[in-house]
Structure 1
């Protein structure tokens, strides 16, 4: 099974790969003429997901009238133990 070919690859996601080392004649391939890309391969990379703690400090304030108000937790933030 394979994924469909994508024509929407950003230039920054392309990796140009060239043969390295020496030719059988002994010449260094770094100085050889580039004949262009003759094959293309794609792989799908799934980025690593990491969890990071995010702390919400809920402040309490006192109004001049004497009433006290505490900020509410953000939606989805469960109460601490």
Structure 2
């Protein structure tokens, strides 16, 4: 299955985290979101940094909870017409 990304969720909230440094998204709405199998297929990269280890851990855990709830809204799924090799 290939999933078409409709929109991202909670990015504004993530960017307001105290330890937020940068967020690089590799998939934009209207593009296909594939299963992550390596670094080149990851949908994005989030960097957190702070002098307090506890702050980074707290923000990291919050991002993980948001991931479980869903960071990506997908359009209707379609079967891939490519052949697996």
**TM range, normalised to the smaller chain?**
under 0.3
Q: Please state which structure has a larger fraction of its residues in helix.
A: 2
Higher alpha-carbon Rg: 1
TM-score of the superposed pair, with normalisation by structure 2:
0.22
Q: Return the structure number with greater relative CO, CA threshold 8 A, min gap 6.
A: 2
